[in-house]
Structure 1
Amino acid sequence: MMNGLDSNYEVFIAGSEPLGATYARQILEYHKSARVLMVEVGAQESPVIGMNLKNAVKYQRDLDAFSHIIRAAVQPMSIPPASGFIPSFKAMDQDPTLSIVNRVTQTVGGMATHWTYCCLDPHDDELVQCPIERSTMRKHLQRGRELMNVPTDEFETSARRELVKKALTDAYKPRGIAVGSLPLAGERSEDNDTLVEWSGMDTILGDFIHSKDADGQNRFKLLSECLVVKFETDPDPPGKIKSALVRDLRTGKEKYIECKVFVAACGTICTHQLRWNSGIRHKALGHYLTGHSNGFCQVVLRKTLIDQLGSNNQNAKTDPADHIPILLNDLEPQIGILYSPSHPHHTQFHRDAFSYVTVGSQIDRRVVLDIRYFCMLEVQESNHISFFTQDRFGCPNTDIYGMPQPTFHFEATAKDDELAQRFDRRTRCIRRDEFSFFCRMMREMCEAANVLGSYLPSTPPHFIFRLSRGLQATTRVGNDPNTSAADKNSRVRTPAGDTVYEKLWIGCAGCIPMQ
């Protein structure tokens, strides 16, 4: 609520996802007197600001029960209308053949309230387009891992971890492919080492969320359920942000808030939306839209593998009737094969909660393993997100908060189409130009699955081509003013591109330029 809000803030941050929280943390830690105002359109859904909701004991003991939390958290942004049916909040101009699965998490903490952050160190090939000098970028990445609390050995006590790692290592080592641990943002609880405290916005801010200035005033203030409608530019001089228009969603009242510095950190889609609504429309804004394709399956671990644990059957000592030699509270296996030129996929062998699948109650979850393969997509300028205030029928084209609704335009490249011609297309449910991604990635995922066990009947190998949670590059940073919407210091370019706004910075996954 904005009632009684004082105006003595130096920094205004739109959005509360991890990158917005990182801006706040850096400012609060290194500028001892600065006061930060953070504005979030979503509600605070936990007693601890921005906590990962998966930290609840209930969800750690019953991981699949968390799936409904994820489904409730993600908000569709652009839904193509059904034939002959015109409901509200549907995107009438959205071509379903050019759409992607587009959802955002609008809550205090953003996706960090339900996401498990896998904080990988990019391969050099993945940093080709990065405008920041390589060694400097590596230091920034290390700082990010520190803020997100990413240890390397939290899951080493998991019996299944060692089992899966050994089986995969035996299979892939002769091919020169290394199998390692997934660097996840979270650590085991000091009070109970069978529980994990997953990182979130609260992890990044730490105790700085309660810091006070010399006058005893709180240096950090969060406004939840308040919408940043737009940034207001100062006509004299041009290229300077004067204020942000904020609407209290509870009361409907609006207020212009002035600050010394403004940061847009609302996620890939909503940061673009805010910039567009503010009239900050550089020609690269929204273009070069990319992400990753995703293969997924679940396997039941092979009995011969599980039997290898029998000689150290700690579980049998506590329950002789349990013939599975895995502790009931054994930590989930978290194993991966990282991207490399010879293995152009990022892979995960683990267990987690998903919005699109659950194991169910008919099988012991200790013997189920999730397998996910991710593949890069080729970047092209024509793939983009567009915004209009009206659709082709002249009706308001807005989302549930009255902001311009996005329309997605995404196609695979001609190069992908040519690659697809080399294979016998036996799978008719996949578009021809998507098939090349499907073939190699799915083939290698199936090979890995066969090493570990048999497919769970409810989740055989399937292909998820357009996965929005990895959307990137719509507000990309770079040195070329013609192809980047912000410079390498994340300062937002003016529409002409020859200068940057004096007081406006940006932070979201959309800043990643990609290769």
Structure 2
Amino acid sequence: MSLPSSTAYDVIVVGSGPTGSTYVREVYDRHPTARILLLDAGPRLTDAPGTHVKNIPDPAERARAQRASEGPGPAGRPGTRLLDAPELPAAAVSTNVGGMGAHWTGACPRPGDGERIGFVPEAEMDAHLTRAEQLLHVDAHAFDRAPFADEVRRRLSTLFDAGRPAHRRVAPMPLAVTTRPDGAHAWSGTDVILGGAAADERVEIADRCLCLRVVLEGDTATGVVVRDTVTGEERQVTARAVVVAADALRTPQLLHASGVRPPALGRYLNDQPQIVYAVRLPDDVVAAHRAVTGRTRDEDGAIVPQSGVSWVPYTDAHPFHGQVMQLDASPVPLADDTGIEPGAVVGLGWFCAKDITADDRIEFDDTTADAHGLPAPRIHYRYSDRDLAGIEQAKKAVAEAGAAIGIPLDDSPFLLPAGSSLHYQGTTRMGAVDDGTSVCDSHSRVWNTRGLWVAGNNVIPTATACNPTLTSVALAVRGADALLAHLEATGNRSAAPPSRLTPSTP
């Protein structure tokens, strides 16, 4: 379908990725009568909306789903299209029901040390993270049968664990995966987050439906204007609350187009510099740990049991996040077929925490339109001297890790083009007070605008190195608490927007 079937809902969510779907699920589970509209400018790829494309058994069907996600423009990584952003040349987006949740690697580490948000109470954040793990079906033991994973982690632990607290030592990577009835694993997409909500009549999913602007009456968001991308027909739809979860690049664009323009909008753009390296395990290790399963991933979409994903956590003393993936575990191919036994090729990816500055930003041109008629974006982005020094340190660390694991397949670690991580953050960042350096409060409510929430990696205000999805889903859980309170209060329209220079409150 395209245009919504009704003109009035309780909640409208713009963007069907992991955080938008979290708002839908939390409101659906906890408000027995709320009617929810979930909008996405892209197509539905699978019968169950938001299924991870790697779970599609047929390779040709999977490739078609990835192409359908790319939208207009040059293709980037499968399922994405590149933006015209010279200073962030690998910047890319997906446009499909499920968003990047249909294409991601499923890594769900908890943030630690300086990655944590200081003004969100620690106990509350831990509870939100636990709920996020439930929604995503996070499992740290999905690959316990992997024949080489224990050896990879043993070697990494010897190198990195000294002096670390127990919860920040080398460990299996917590992954968003679901266990099938036959015991095999599949990647969690947003279909897993939505659960039964996707099939309930109280929840409507409108695909190929582009949100053009949020409608404001004074300081209150009252709905959205949408366009059917197939027919071009437009319609205004009302709601008591609007959540914009259109990713870190398009969420600030939509707010700008709607006239919601706090000083921090689009600023503090944060992408994680990514260093990669590949090695293979020594022949004697492969021989000692070899196990033949007979399953290949393409047979039925399952993750093969030889897979393994390991985690070197971020710490303030080691301000990098290591994601160590045995070749066949990655939804993104790490290398061409080398003829080496599956699982014996190990890809190391080190993500760096970047300096956060207001100068790294997206600005929007009201005189020039993009392909959808919205204000055209321009990205400003650069590495500071401190960033460049950190990148060199990360290269050294990943080279040491590779040498500890096995035999290099690359001459040396190399830095991927800026934007390659797809972990864009900060452009609608949260803050403790509205002092001009944030867009929303700690419950993701846009400052001075009643009934409007933002969601996604873009609300994360800290310099992170770990994969951000678990954190952003946890913050969506937190935001949904405030949204549900808003729904209860708006029977008499008495709920006030978060006010300038006042601390965030539930």
How far apart, in 1, do the equivalents of 2:212 and 2:3 lie?
18
Q: 2:429 aligns with which of 476, 491, 509?
A: 476
Q: CA deviation at 1:3?
A: 5.8
- RMSD over aligned CA atoms reads 2.6
Query: 2:416 maps to which residue?
Result: 464
- CA shift for structure 1 position 281: 0.4
- Separation in 2, partners of 1:333, 1:67: 24
Match of 1:178 in 2: 169
Note if contact 1:179-1:337 (Cα within 8 Å) is conserved in structure 2: yes
Matched, 1:73 2:56: no
Change over 3 Å in CA distance of 1:350–1:67 after alignment to 2: farther
| Deviation digits for residues 348-389 of structure 1 (CA, Å, limit 9, x no counterpart) | 111344668532354443321111111100111111110103
For residues 334-355 of structure 1, the C-alpha deviation after alignment (integer angstroms, 9 at most, x for no partner) is 1111011222211011134466
What is the CA distance between 1:181 and its match in structure 2?
0.8
Instruction: State the Cα distance separating 1:202 from its structure 2 match.
Output: 0.6
Determine if contact 2:7/2:236 at 8 Å carries over to the other structure.
no
Q: 2:93 aligns to what?
A: 104
Given candidates 448, 451, 455, the residue that maps to 1:507 is 455
Q: Which amino acid aligns with 1:31?
A: H
Tell me, what secondary structure is at the counterpart of 1:469?
coil
SS of 1:242's equivalent in the other structure is strand
Question: Identity over aligned residues, as a percent?
Answer: 26
CA contact (8 A) 1:346 1:374 kept: yes
Q: How many residues align?
A: 440
Alignment of 1:41-56 (within 5 A): 41-56=41-56
1:136 pairs with 2:107: no
1:486 paired with 2:440, answer yes
2:376 pairs with 1:405: yes
1:298–1:275 CA distance, 2 compared to 1 (3 A):
same
User: What is the identity, as a one-letter code, of the residue corresponding to 1:510?
Assistant: N
2-structure distance, mates of 1:314, 1:413: 47
Q: Give 3-state SS (helix, strand or coil) of 2:100's partner.
A: helix
Q: Structure 2 vs 1, CA of residues 306 and 483 (structure 1 numbering), >3 Å: closer, same or farther? A: same
Q: Which residue of 2 aligns with 1:388?
A: 365
Q: Does 1:219 align with 2:173?
A: no
Q: Deviations over 1:164-217 (max 9, x none)?
A: 1222223334565721010000033222x3x32211111011112223xxxxxx
Taking the TM superposition and a 5 Å limit, the aligned residue runs for 1:366-381 are 366-381=343-358
Q: Which moved more, 1:177-186 or 1:137-146?
A: 177-186
Contact 1:246/1:254 (CA < 8 Å) preserved in 2?
yes
**Contact 2:222-2:241 at 8 Å conserved across structures:** no
Local SS of the residue matching 2:120: coil
Q: Which amino acid aligns with 2:277?
A: C
1:8-157 counterparts in 2 under 5 A? 8-57=8-57, 71-79=77-85, 96=86, 98-127=87-116, 129-157=117-145
Shift of 1:30: 0.2
Distance 1:67 1:445 in 2: 31
SS at match of 1:252: coil
Rate the CA distance shift 1:3–1:52 in 2: closer, same or farther, 3 A.
closer
Q: Where do 5+ consecutive residues of structure 2 fail to align?
A: 70-75, 295-302, 464-506
Q: 1:282 to 1:167 in 2, by over 3 A?
A: same
One-letter code aligned to 1:143: R
Tell me by how many angstroms 1:455 deviates.
Answer: 2.1
Contact 1:67 1:354 in 2 (8 A): no
Residue-by-residue CA offset, 1:293-338 (whole Å, 9 max, x unaligned):
11101111112322332xxx5539x9xxxxxxxxx94331111110
- C-alpha distance after superposition, 1:116-167 (max 9, x if no partner): 221111113212x443212111111111111111022111111111121222
Runs ≥4 residues deviating over 6 A: 63-70
Query: TM-score with structure 1 length normalisation?
Result: 0.80
Contact map agreement 2:276 2:347 (CA 8 A) in 1: yes
Aligned residue identity for 2:51: M
- Alpha-carbon distance between aligned partners in 1 of 2:6 and 2:151, rounded to the nearest angstrom: 57
1:252 aligns with 2:232: yes
Structure 1: state its 5+ residue gaps: 80-95, 212-217, 319-327, 391-396, 417-433, 494-499
Residue equivalent to 2:321: 346
Is residue 230 from structure 1 mapped to residue 218 from structure 2 by the alignment?
no
